[in-house]
Amino acid sequence: MRMLGTLTRADLAETINRKMGLSRAESLQLVEAILRHMCQAMSNGENVKISGFGSFILRDKNERIGRNPKTGVEVPITPRRVLTFRASQLMKDRIQQADM
């Protein structure tokens, strides 16, 4: 697997700046607004689906018993909400083609 770096908010804003012609400040504000809207939706318990990209899915996990692998002692794992990402088939296909 090759590592090319990390895509950042600034990178997204720069792309919007180049392709859409918005100023750098407006581009960054747009990226921030989109991310803020996504975070707000998820904090309200909504899943976020971006067609052709994937879905951010919230799952509630119940309390369960876990085991400390080092000592073998059983400990309760508290209930919690977790966020998972599931890539769309289109995204999976694009990633597969990029590896070839």
Check whether domain 7-46 has CATH 3.90.10.10, yes or no: no
Show the tokens assigned to 7: 């895509």
Distance of CA 51 to the CA centre of its chain: 14
33-62 tens-digit pLDDT:
999 999 999 999 999 999 999 999 999 999
Handedness of CA 84, 86, 87, 88 (dihedral sign): negative
- At 71 the three-state DSSP class reads coil
- The pLDDT confidence band at residue 1, using thresholds 50, 70 and 90, is very low
With 70 as the cut, is the pLDDT of residue 77 above it?
Answer: yes
CATH 4.10.520.10 maps onto the chain at 7-46, 47-100
Mean pLDDT of 15-28: 94
pLDDT at 3: 56
Phi first, then psi: give them for residue 88, nearest 5 degrees: -70, 165
pLDDT at 5: 86
With 90 as the cut, is the pLDDT of residue 15 above it?
Answer: yes
C-alpha distances in Å from residue 80, one per residue of 60, 61, 83? 6, 5, 10
With 60 as the cut, is the pLDDT of residue 27 above it?
Answer: yes
Mean pLDDT of the chain: 93
With 70 as the cut, is the pLDDT of residue 76 above it?
Answer: yes
- At 85 the three-state DSSP class reads strand
CATH architecture of 47-100: Irregular (4.10)
